[in-house]
Amino acid sequence: MKKQLLILLIGATCVVFLASISFFIYLKRLHRSVAYFQTVGEYVQQGKLDDAIIILKNTLSKNQRIAEAHAALGMIYNKKDMLDEALSELQKALNLKPDLFTIYQEMYLVYKKKGMEEEAQRALNSYEKLKGK
């Protein structure tokens, strides 16, 4: 009986220890992610768009499933008047996270620049519909 209790106690301690390590790793990744977006934001504010693009592309080369990185890249491409590239990245972001309503707002701006009024209106309608939720 004592042996079983000891084994149970050791097992529970291991589970708590592993959970603590996993949580620590999660927090470290979260902090890195926030710092990375702050760096991109600072580069954009400073007009260092090409540097921001490099960071975003590097991030996406490691993980293509980060909707926010695709969205940020699309917004930067829009600022550089690289409209086809902007739409491509924004569409990738929407495919990953269709409820990220700010993407529709950016798509509206890109479509307007391209003179695509019908698409711009659809993007605006989607933006307003999601924003209202």
* Model pLDDT for residues 57-109, shown as the tens digit of each residue: 988 888 898 898 999 999 999 999 999 999 999 999 999 999 888 899 999 99
Give, as one character, the DSSP assignment of residue 80: T
Contact in structure between 70 and 97 (CB atoms under 8 Å): no
Query: Mean pLDDT in the chain?
Result: 82
Question: Domains in the chain, ordered, with CATH?
Answer: 2-132 (1.25.40.10)
What are the helix and strand counts (H, E) for the chain? Answer: 6, 0
For the entire predicted model, the pTM comes to: 0.73
The gap between the terminal CA atoms of the chain, to the nearest Å, is: 57
Contact, 93 vs 103, CB < 8 A? Answer: yes
- Distant-in-sequence, close-in-space partners of 8: CB < 8 Å, separation ≥ 6: none
pLDDT value for 133: 64
> Any idea what DSSP says for residue 81?
T
Predicted local distance difference test score (pLDDT) of residue 92: 97
Phi, psi of 63 (to 5 degrees): -155, 105
Question: Using an 8 Å Cβ cutoff, are 61 and 38 in contact?
Answer: no
